[in-house]
Structures are given as C-alpha cells and as structure tokens.
Amino acid sequence: MTTVELVRARPPSRVGLGWAFFERQTNLWKRYWAWEVVWLVYGVVNTLAITFIANEAGRSATVPKGEIPRLTMFLLIGTLVWAYLSAILDDMSLTIMWERWEGTIEHTLMAPVPRVVHLIGMSVFGVIHALLRTILIMVCALPFFDVQLAGADWLTAAVVIAVGSVSLVGLGILAGILPLLYPERGEQMSFMVQALVLLVSGVYYSVAVLPGWLQAVSAFSPATYLLRGIRDALLNGTALNDEAGLVGILALFGVVLVPASLIVFGVAERWAKKTGRLKRQG
C-alpha cells in the first residue's frame, strides 16, 4: 500500500488566499470561453443598437447636425460604462449563485479564509474581467461611428475609472448577498437593483431630465459620478485638477461602500448560518 504523506496547512498570506479566488475565476472563465464570446457579441450589438440612435437623431433632424458627434459619444460612453458596471455586478452575483447550486458555498465558507480576502479576491477578478470585456466591446464598436477624441483627457478618465471601480466593488459585494440568502430568486433580485442603478445614474441621458425625487436618488449612486467624470474627461477634455471634487466623491463612495458591503455580507452570512440557508440548493 502506498503511504500518503500529508502536510499540515500553515498560516497563509492574504495575497495567496486572495489569489486562490482570482485563479479559480480565471479557470472557470477559460472553461466557459464560449459564453464569453456570447456576452461579447451581446455587448457589441447592444452598444451599436443604442449608439445608432444618435445617427437617427441626426437623420431626422431631431438634433442639430453639429451635435451628432457629441450625442454619439454621450451614448457610447453610457453603454460602455454600463457594460463595465453590470459585468462587475453580474460576476459577483453569478459566482455566489453558482456556488449555491453546486454546493461549493459550504466548502468555501468553511475554509480558513477571512471573508474580506475572499470577497476582494473575487472582486479584483470581476474588475479586471469587466475592464477587458468593455475594452473589447469598445474596440469592436468604435469603427462604426465618427468619434472625435482629439480633445479628450485620458488621464482624467483613467483616474475616474480607477477610483470609481473601488465603489463598484462595494456594489458587487452587495449584489452577491441576495443569491447567498435567496438561491432561487437572488439573481433576479440583483437584476432589479441593477435596473434601479440604470434608471437613476444617467447612463443614456443626463440626470437633469429625471423628476426631482429621482435626481435626489441619483446622488446616492456612484455610477452617476463615474459617468459624469468620464463624460467630462472625454467630451470636454476636463483636466484632473478640475475634477478633484468629483474624484473625491467617488473615493468617499469607495471608502464607505466597501467596508459597509463587507459588514452587510457578514450579517447576511451569520443570518444564513442561523437559519440553515447555506445548504445545497439544486
């Protein structure tokens, strides 16, 4: 009989533990590359379908011809930022839902990994994955439109995306709570939350067109400031100094949302453990 030598686990580094989740998501992504193609095609078609509205506005003279390139960029930025944001939220909620259905959630939650490392590891993958997918959508969509980016301030745009992504990590962790508690309906419930963010954040229109009470709600969505900052940078060429206030608001969202989402996830996990909700479903 072969002797099996076992090595006792030792205290691991947090980076190593976080890498476990990043690597697992990457392996899953490689196995499901065909789905990635489907989502890419959907993203490109969605971007084109919405941005062509600008061309229609020009053709029917609804908008002065000189404003068409600006409207095109406005819609293009909206669709791309939305693709980015929804990919992050989807990654988190789908992974938790998947773990519920496969039953691995119990093994994941009983592993000696601090929850903050677990969730941040998944979120880092979600952000990089969403960024790559959005860049690909942009590369595929740009040739269809006459886009003028000569006056764009790319540094401002990059800083706004980087800082804004931290708050999106917080939203992603919150999106993962619903499938944790409600494996059958949680994903649909997280779509509902996404739809609310879509409505109030000025993705395809300025928040100024919303009724007053919805404008008030929009102030609590980090996506509102993310979109405004990117549009300011790419449409108006706003310098980073002039966007310091907006970047500060985005940073504040990150500072508040990430710890808050971790605390809420912890409360939800404890409630799930109290009520026996972690048992395999599926």
Rounded to a whole number of angstroms, the CA Rg of the chain reads 21
For the CB of residue 119, give the shortest distance to other proteins in the complex, in Å.
13
Residues 222, 187 contacting (CB under 8 angstroms): no
For the CB of residue 103, give the shortest distance to other proteins in the complex, in Å.
3
Pick the closer one to other proteins by CB: 34 or 150.
34
Tell me the C-alpha distance between 242 and 238, whole Å. 6
Pick the closer one to other proteins by CB: 17 or 268.
17
Residues interacting with other proteins, by CB under 8 A?
A: 1-12, 16-17, 19-21, 23-24, 27-28, 31-32, 98, 102-104, 106-114, 270-271, 273-280
For the CB of residue 65, give the shortest distance to other proteins in the complex, in Å.
51
CB atoms within 10 A of CB 250: 27
Residues 73, 111 contacting (CB under 8 angstroms): no
For the CB of residue 63, give the shortest distance to other proteins in the complex, in Å.
46
Measured N-to-C along each axis, helices 222-235 and 154-181 cross at an angle, to the nearest 10 degrees, of 160
Pick the closer one to other proteins by CB: 35 or 154.
35
Tell me the C-alpha distance between 263 and 256, whole Å. 11
Pick the closer one to other proteins by CB: 19 or 52.
19
Pick the closer one to other proteins by CB: 59 or 279.
279
For the CB of residue 47, give the shortest distance to other proteins in the complex, in Å.
28
For the CB of residue 169, give the shortest distance to other proteins in the complex, in Å.
20
* Residue 262 DSSP class: H
Torsion over CA: 244, 76, 67, 148 (sign): positive
Pick the closer one to other proteins by CB: 60 or 275.
275
Tell me the C-alpha distance between 180 and 119, whole Å. 13
